[in-house]
Amino acid sequence: MEYFAHDSAIVDENCQIGEGTKVWHFSHIMTNCIIGKNCNIGQNVVVSPEVILGDNVKVQNNVSIYTGVTCEDDVFLGPSMVFTNVINPRSAVNRRGQYSRTVVRKGVSIGANATIVCGNDIGQFAFIGAGTVVTKEVLPYALIVGNPGRQIGWISEFGHRLNFDENGTAKCSESNELYTLSNGHVTKNI
């Protein structure tokens, strides 16, 4: 086995788990999941059938990732955050097979206790603050907080607020990389 699973973890059949990944106490990886290399699946995490996690995804304790969710590489899922997968759940109505898809793009961070309402993709390197409820699509590099979530700014790939000048240019305070804001969208200068 190229990955580590704690003795109390349950890993169902037909899962693909990459080299160097760790699955910790009381977590359940359900059938037909694809989990990349060097991921960390914290304590008491559920990864439902057919979820896809890229490489280097960090899943903190008590997270629920339901069918329909795809997380690309380098995603951080904070403690006790949750995804939904049905927009109108009812106990007496079976909606299996009607799961909405949610894609979390490369480099996204989602804070503790956040809720991502299904069908709302999150753009690359966006930052979702702790306790935020995401109810609509999130742009790349957007900083989102509150309930319902609202954009309060832009953030760099290193996780620092971007302050754009009159020319629409900002510099990350840590990496010194430059970003451009044009027509309501941010791109990193290459």
Dihedral sign of CA atoms 133, 35, 141, 60 in order: positive
Q: Could you tell me which residues come within 8 angstroms of residue 93 by beta carbon, excluding any fewer than 6 positions away?
A: none
Q: What value does the mean pLDDT take over residues 4-27?
A: 97
Q: What are phi and psi of 99, to 5 degrees?
A: -70, 135
- In the predicted model, what is the mean pLDDT of residues 53-82? 98
State percent of the chain over pLDDT 70.
100
pLDDT of res. 8 = 98
What letter does residue 86 receive in the DSSP assignment? -
Q: Please report the pLDDT score of residue 158 as a whole number.
A: 98
- Give Cβ neighbours of residue 1 (< 8 Å, ≥ 6 apart): none
How many whole angstroms separate alpha carbon 182 and alpha carbon 168? 7
* Confidence tier at 13 by pLDDT (50, 70, 90): very high
Rounded Cα distance between 150 and 128, Å, is: 10
Q: Band of the pLDDT at 96, cuts 50, 70, 90? A: confident
- Rounded CA-CA distance 152/101 in Å is 25
Q: What's the pLDDT score for residue 65? A: 97
**pTM for the structure as a whole:** 0.96
**Chain mean pLDDT for the chain:** 97
97 pLDDT above the threshold of 90: no
Look at residue 157 and tell me whether its pLDDT is greater than 80.
yes
So what's the pLDDT on residue 180?
Answer: 98
pLDDT digits (tens, 9 = 90+) for 103-142: 999 999 999 999 999 999 999 999 999 999 999 999 999 9
Residue 1 has pLDDT above 80, yes or no: no
Query: Partners of 103 in the beta sheet?
Result: 70
Annotate 147-166 with b (16+ C-beta within 10 A) or e (fewer).
eebeeeebbbbeebebebee
Residues 41-65: tens digit of each pLDDT: 999 999 999 999 999 999 999 999 9
